[in-house]
Structure 1
């Protein structure tokens, strides 16, 4: 029998969600719907029966991320993941592509030309303790982001990691959950988003010009979800782990960050991405 690939549609979100349920991944159906709204994907089929999925997100003309590469548990070992990846990469020629690899997928991605560049640590707390809203000093002030902020926040986001994500930033600003902006001496020092995801809430992206300001942004959002399940995904090299542990979050996973193409090198002294949107959308 022949395995074929076709473009994903919004109607495939239910199938994708069922695959991540098999894997015991935390995604809700709504998370799949949001992922498809912002990206594109492929479905592997055999005689009209869907077998697996893979999604990508084009962030500008040169950068992309790949995620939600999942194959039905009964169909694994048939090369379906490789077919899906080949199909996505054929449409991403000339792009620098980033993904986060599980232990099971790392070998395949290495054979496809991806190289490890670090780890992303996933932190969780099933019931976040009460976190006080941090006091501000040294010319800092909070404000809520508004739609008119979209271009400036998009520029800061791109400065942190090279990804041009205007559609993502605009989507975040349309959600009911807050996006907080931190200003210092009249300029934007960072921003952070809180939203529903998986088993509860996730904080990210968090874009800031320093570790201190990143911690302030995260803490002010934590203060809004005391007693809730909270997740944060952060580049291990940035060293937030000890502080997050003090806040009640524990590391539960460490997927390998892999890149195909030249790694992005952010500006010295500029913005850094202290927490991801998601591992798939980075």
Structure 2
């Protein structure tokens, strides 16, 4: 696929996302109603790679990012096309640019409803639905089950403590990303019998805070790892992206003042991405739609 594409009467070219003023990226995401702040874009540029579609005078009409984890896997996100070019093939062109740069990696992404059929046509298959729970956290949280283990805070310098656990849950090593997330996050770990069996992060994002990743073996552990952050965020805006639509974990979110506002679809190209096993670590809360 060529490095340029013609849209109506003008030509768009692929440009490295790091060469574009972050204000233009912020305007692009605002144009489609996404909550990313300039500092969120800057973080994502540190965490991954990306391209933007620009015209001859530097206007940005689209973006796409990918986040490699080793040589065999990457997540894709921030695939945005401006309303002016959404029906002109820009999204397909951006994705083909990403494919070229990702080589033969297995890929995963979280698709909006609007982009779903495009990704199907590009060879992605549906795996699961992600539910976005968000809102102002209630001043009083619901009762939680008895805690099995001990909760402790974790410093960013000790992030290696959760790396192996996260790899079992996520399916591949993403310690580099965890280290970046940890720079601006409060981190809680659950230890049981001297072993770390779960963790969660809480960091600023968009309109308020995002709680994620959340990794745990079961609903009870996930509830405690989430509630510890919800208590700190009482009265403030928070979001949790999860594949739990119902059940005890979803009940906690709803009873804490969050509402399920929208969904996206987890899709993969190549090997299957999700592989949930009973009593094994599972990603209850995503780091973000782009990061998964």
- Distance change in 2, residues 1:126/1:232 (3 Å): same
| SS at 2:222 equivalent | helix
Alignment of 1:195-210 (within 5 A): 195-210=203-218
After the TM superposition, which of the residue ranges 22-31 and 70-79 deviates more from structure 2? 70-79
Partner of 2:4: none
Partner of 2:7: none
1:43 pairs with 2:52? yes
Partner of 1:87: 97
| SS at 1:109 equivalent | helix
Partner of 2:287: 277
- Distance change in 2, residues 1:215/1:77 (3 Å): same
- Distance change in 2, residues 1:220/1:3 (3 Å): same
Partner of 1:163: 172
**TM-score (norm. length: structure 1):** 0.92
TM-superposed CA distance for 1:257, in Å, is 1.0
Is the Cα–Cα contact under 8 Å of residues 50 and 65 in structure 2 kept in the other structure? yes
Cα RMSD, aligned residues only: 2.0
Partner of 1:221: 229
- Distance change in 2, residues 1:99/1:105 (3 Å): same
Partner of 1:151: 160
Query: Partners in 2 of 1:72 and 1:189 — Cα distance?
Result: 43
TM-superposed CA distance for 1:10, in Å, is 5.8
What 5-or-longer segments of structure 1 have no aligned partner?
Answer: none
Partner of 2:25: 16
Query: Partners in 1 of 2:152 and 2:44 — Cα distance?
Result: 28
Alignment of 1:128-277 (within 5 A): 128-131=138-141, 137-138=147-148, 140-175=149-184, 177-236=185-244, 239=247, 240-264=249-273, 265=275, 268-277=278-287
TM-superposed CA distance for 1:155, in Å, is 1.5
What 5-or-longer segments of structure 2 have no aligned partner?
Answer: 1-9
TM-superposed CA distance for 1:266, in Å, is 5.0
